[in-house]
Amino acid sequence: MANPLYDRLFDAHTGKVTPFLHLQDGRVITHHEFLSTGAQIANAAFKIGLKPGDRVAVQVQKSPEALALYAACARAGLVFLPLNTAYTTDELSYFIENSGASLVVCDGKSEAALTPVAGNFNARIETMNADGSGSLMEQAKAMPVDFDTIDRDGDDLAALLYTSGTTGRSKGAMLTQNNLLSNAEALAKEWRFSSDDVLLHALPIFHTHGLFVATNVTLVAGGSLIFMPKFDLDEIIARMPEATSMMGVPTFYTRLLGDDRFTKELAAHIRLFVSGSAPLLAETHIQFEERTGHRILERYGMTETNMNTSNPFDGERRAGTVGFPLPGVEIKITNPDSGETLPDGEVGQIEVRGPNVFKGYWRMPEKTADELRENGFFITGDLGKIDEDGYVHIVGRNKDLIISGGYNIYPKEIELILDEQPGILESAVIGVPHPDFGETVIGVVVAENGHSPDLEGMMEAVRRSLARFKHPRRLVVLDELPRNTMGKVQKNILRDQYREMFVSEGT
């Protein structure tokens, strides 16, 4: 037996004193040091009483220790459940309950608020702060730097990542060791990653992009990361000359283009810029090439599937497309009503099958059956077409989803809160174009007869429940919502009506 994910991503670097993490303060952590910390955390987790298969819910700032916790989970057969640092206690409560997590690791600042929540669901709580201090590392530091790696099958769960849904309830996507490993290997090969690569890492490590794409690809190739706590334009510009590659959401690239210090010379050492998580405007792609001579490589993925398609490393990186299916991945375009495959060139729903596709939603067999067909094809909810040269184009969404700065926001979650407010009859939450975030959220509300809505009170209710990035940037009051003859709210009409609201604004 073995542990495919740990063996390939981490254990392959045992004993290497080559740099793995270059930190902002100039410190360098070698592969060996990183793996030793991971082993200590794995020992501490078992001492606490965790067993293989247990879920570990993690809401901590980005730090080398946080990444070592991911390595520890892979090694100890624990299921890593990373959570956005912006989530509120209400949101976390749901994830802890639904996942049945045995351990919650949080920042020391959230400990007081989360202790009762963890207690309600019989989870233990430990802390990990941005500087690596906290109760978990205190225990880990007293532990041996060796750990007998737990045997795992490729089909065993490695991670549980929550993704919101159109009904407003989040679902835990079950990702196996093979899902993650097959994708990391395919991407590293397609994008020609090697041990010489130094990746500028400014993405958060609680989502697929920063954790499984940027980190796993670098690990599988034996390269290193310039590991930044967050996207900070000055820091990115300062460190870019040391890097060979960068991955980001489109906002990263539009922010760079907005700064005159970002020049061809600054980007000269980089061999590859990758964009994903949200559509990259063709205009950004073109401007980027004019400024730097680089063509950004755009790829397409999802939490449930890791990466599905990529523009070619060699060959034409076509603006406005997401390239070709990755090796081993099949894509088909189907009629959303009948499920029948459509000919190339026609627009339909994108379905995907391959070793990257998740195992299903945690403890939600009906939701899994709705989206994952018995023949293995996953219905992505994205609308697209395949052109005559085989490039996949995403042309829209068959799901009510807003993507702001690379974060997904499901309107239903916000509408449920707005609808509950006193004097509100109904609401519709929509995404409108935004120069910095790509799209941003606005809420359209209709008051009950005779009421004048308390907009500040409504925003306060949203703030209490939901992460900041989900908050509507504006609330608009209408007498009624536009509806079609079937009575369905026509969000497209609202989107058209308000599409100019933010176009000339900065951030």
Q: Please, what is the minimum distance in Å from the beta carbon of residue 276 to ligand AMP?
A: 4
Q: Please, what is the minimum distance in Å from the beta carbon of residue 178 to ligand MCA?
A: 17
Whether 244 contacts 199, CB under 8 Å: yes
- To the nearest 10 degrees (0 to 180), the angle between helices 89-99 and 111-120 is 30
Looking only at residues 161 through 180 of this chain, which bind ligand AMP when binding is defined by CB under 6 A? 163
DSSP 375: T
Task: Write the DSSP string, 41-61.
Answer: HHHHHHHHT--TT-EEEEE--
Nearest residue to 119 (alpha-carbon basis) of 137, 101, 135, 99:
101
Contacting residues for 472 by C-beta, under 8 A, at least 6 apart: 414, 429, 441, 442, 443, 459, 462
Q: Please, what is the minimum distance in Å from the beta carbon of residue 39 to ligand AMP?
A: 31
Which strand (E) or helix (H) includes residue 306? strand 306-310
- For ligand AMP, which residue of 129, 245, 368, 380 counts as binding (CB under 6 A)? 380
Sheet of strand 348-353: strand arrangement: 330-334, 348-353, 378-386, 392-397
Q: Which does 141 bind (CB under 5 to 8 A by kind): ligand MCA, ligand AMP, none?
A: none
Cα separations in angstroms, 243 against 174, 289, 373: 33, 18, 42
Binding of residue 65 to ligand AMP (CB under 6 A): no
Give the CB-nearest residue to ligand MCA: 405
Q: Please, what is the minimum distance in Å from the beta carbon of residue 26 to ligand MCA?
A: 23
Q: Which is nearer to ligand AMP, 147 or 391 (CB)?
A: 391
Q: Which does 437 bind (CB under 5 to 8 A by kind): ligand MCA, ligand AMP, none?
A: ligand MCA
Q: Please, what is the minimum distance in Å from the beta carbon of residue 383 to ligand AMP?
A: 9
Q: Please, what is the minimum distance in Å from the beta carbon of residue 47 to ligand MCA?
A: 33
Q: Which does 173 bind (CB under 5 to 8 A by kind): ligand MCA, ligand AMP, none?
A: none
**In 3-state terms, the chain is what percent helix, strand and coil (to 5)?**
35, 25, 40
Residues binding ligand AMP: number (CB under 6 A): 18
Give the CB-nearest residue to ligand AMP: 303
Which strand (E) or helix (H) includes residue 238? helix 233-239
Instruction: Round to whole Å and give the CA distance between 16 and 7.
Output: 14
Contacting residues for 384 by C-beta, under 8 A, at least 6 apart: 333, 347, 348, 349, 350, 392, 393, 394, 395
Instruction: Round to whole Å and give the CA distance between 235 and 228.
Output: 8
Q: Which is nearer to ligand MCA, 210 or 348 (CB)?
A: 210
Q: Which does 250 bind (CB under 5 to 8 A by kind): ligand AMP, ligand MCA, none?
A: none
Q: Which is nearer to ligand MCA, 124 or 471 (CB)?
A: 471
Q: Please, what is the minimum distance in Å from the beta carbon of residue 207 to ligand MCA?
A: 4
Tokens 């060996």 belong to: 32
Q: What is the dihedral of CA 229, 126, 360, 150, to 10 degrees?
A: 100
Q: Which is nearer to ligand MCA, 232 or 496 (CB)?
A: 232
Looking only at residues 445 through 484 of this chain, which bind ligand AMP when binding is defined by CB under 6 A? none
Instruction: Round to whole Å and give the CA distance between 432 and 3.
Output: 45
Q: What is the dihedral of CA 313, 67, 208, 282, to 10 degrees?
A: -50
Tokens 């959220």 belong to: 441
Burial 74-88 (b: 16+ CB within 10 A, else e): bbbbbbbbbbbbebe
Q: Which does 183 bind (CB under 5 to 8 A by kind): ligand MCA, ligand AMP, none?
A: none
Q: Please, what is the minimum distance in Å from the beta carbon of residue 120 to ligand MCA?
A: 28
Binding of residue 394 to ligand AMP (CB under 6 A): yes
- For ligand AMP, which residue of 16, 124, 359, 397 counts as binding (CB under 6 A)? 397
Q: Which is nearer to ligand AMP, 187 or 278 (CB)?
A: 278
Q: What character string, x for contact with ligand AMP (CB under 6 A) and - otherwise, covers 183-222?
A: -------------------------x--------------
Looking only at residues 273 through 332 of this chain, which bind ligand AMP when binding is defined by CB under 6 A? 276-279, 298, 300-303, 322
Residues in the site for ligand MCA, rule: CB under 6 A? Answer: 203-204, 207-210, 230-231, 249, 251, 276-277, 301-303, 404-407, 437, 468-469, 507
Q: Contact positions toward ligand AMP, by CB under 6 A? A: 163, 208, 276-279, 298, 300-303, 322, 380, 382, 394, 397, 403, 408
